Amino acid sequence: MSTQAAFKFISADRRAASLRNLLSDKRCLRFLEAHNPISAILAEHASQTVDGELRVYDGFWSSSLTDSTARGKPDIEVLAIKDRLANVNDIFEVTSKPLIMDGDTGGKPEHFAFDVRSLERLGVSAVIIEDKTGLKKNSLFGNDVFQQQETIEDFCNKIRMGKRAQISSDFMIIARIESLILDAGLDDALTRADAYVAAGADGIMIHSRQETPDEIFAFARTFRERHPTVPLVCVPTSYSSIPFEALEAEGFNIVIYANHMLRSAYMAMKQVADNILLSGRTLEVEPRCLSIKEILELIPGTK
Ligand code: SPV
Ligand code: MG
């Protein structure tokens, strides 16, 4: 099991700027969902050497899905921005890597402008806003639920208002295109990408709920021809068989593993909760738990 996490501390400005630095140093970055400080500590310190290459996560994804689920609420923009920011602040108390915020739709453009400044003040590196309007539902539902895409004009206006509000040049506003999620097609996705980049978006996220990456690879090829240097982001939740290297080779710059820390934690906790009832004692669940010695040693300053 992991040893004690040695916390590193960093100023808000340096943390915010570190995403742009990483993007200029590396072809592609790995971001892992973190819904609370302990999941972020795990993400910050996880490392594996594969074929002589050291793999680490470059930063955290603050997911609307897992932030909401962790609080027992649906992923419909019901959490107040204050609560999302408080969660990020708790994560920042004990970590040093950059964080990308899932900004949902960004809300009203006038409100988004205020949120951009709040995120910057905290040291968040980037916000991703999706081009939906009305009651937002999780993208992985696709058209199984009613979801509506924002007009290009209105979404560009929101991007422009966010860009005008930002104080430092380090902060990034990344536009997330939902055309493939809502079956509006590749051409619509590409048209929107051109418009969002022209409106000032610092990057594009293309999302898909297909189990194969064909449509996002097709998007990436044309997007790269038209915009060779604009950062491109993907979330390979549904096309989970595609390795990082393949996404990197297709021109993606950030790969976000968007929900796996909460999904795995919940499953482990459920098994333990059920097993204590079944066994009438905790002996059987002990092998699946961090030992008492380990938990007492995990966090610096506990002793
Ligand atoms: C999230 O993690 O909340 C996201 C990604 O927005 S997805 O759930 O795939 O829509
Ligand atoms: Mg979300």
211-241 pLDDT, tens digit each: 999 999 999 999 999 999 999 999 999 999 9
Single-letter code of the amino acid located at 36: N
Domain count, the chain: 1
Question: Is the residue at 301 inside a domain?
Answer: no
Question: Is the residue at 19 inside a domain?
Answer: yes
Question: Is the residue at 295 inside a domain?
Answer: no
Question: Is the residue at 244 inside a domain?
Answer: yes
Question: Is the residue at 288 inside a domain?
Answer: no
The DSSP code sequence of 248-277 is HHTT-SEEEE-SHHHHHHHHHHHHHHHHHH
Q: What distance in Å separates the CA atoms of residue 256 and residue 216, rounded to the nearest whole number?
A: 14
N residues, the chain: 303
Q: Is position 75 annotated as part of the catalytic site? A: yes
Question: Is the residue at 292 inside a domain?
Answer: no
Q: Whose CA is nearest to atom 10 of ligand 1?
A: 139
Q: What distance in Å separates the CA atoms of residue 303 and residue 154, rounded to the nearest whole number?
A: 54
Q: Tell me the HSE value of 194 on the side-chain side, using a 13 A CA sphere.
A: 8
Question: Is the residue at 274 inside a domain?
Answer: no
pLDDT tens digits, residue range 135-189? 999 999 988 999 999 999 999 999 999 999 999 999 999 999 999 999 999 999 9
Nearest 5°: the CA angle 55, 87, 35 is 45
Residue 198 φ then ψ, to 5°: -65, -30
| Domain boundaries, position 212 | 12-259
Crossing angle, helix 152-165 and helix 109-122, to 10 degrees?
40
For a ligand 1 pocket test, name from 31, 63, 216 the mutation site with the most ligand atoms within 8 angstroms of its C-beta. 63
Q: Whose CA is nearest to atom 5 of ligand 1?
A: 258
User: Which atom of ligand 1 is nearest the CA belonging to 33?
Assistant: 2
CATH label of the domain that carries residue 242: 3.20.20.60
pTM of the model: 0.97
Cα 277 to ligand 1 centre (Å): 33
Question: Is the residue at 22 inside a domain?
Answer: yes
Kind and range of the H or E run holding 53? strand 53-56
Cα 243 to ligand 2 centre (Å): 22
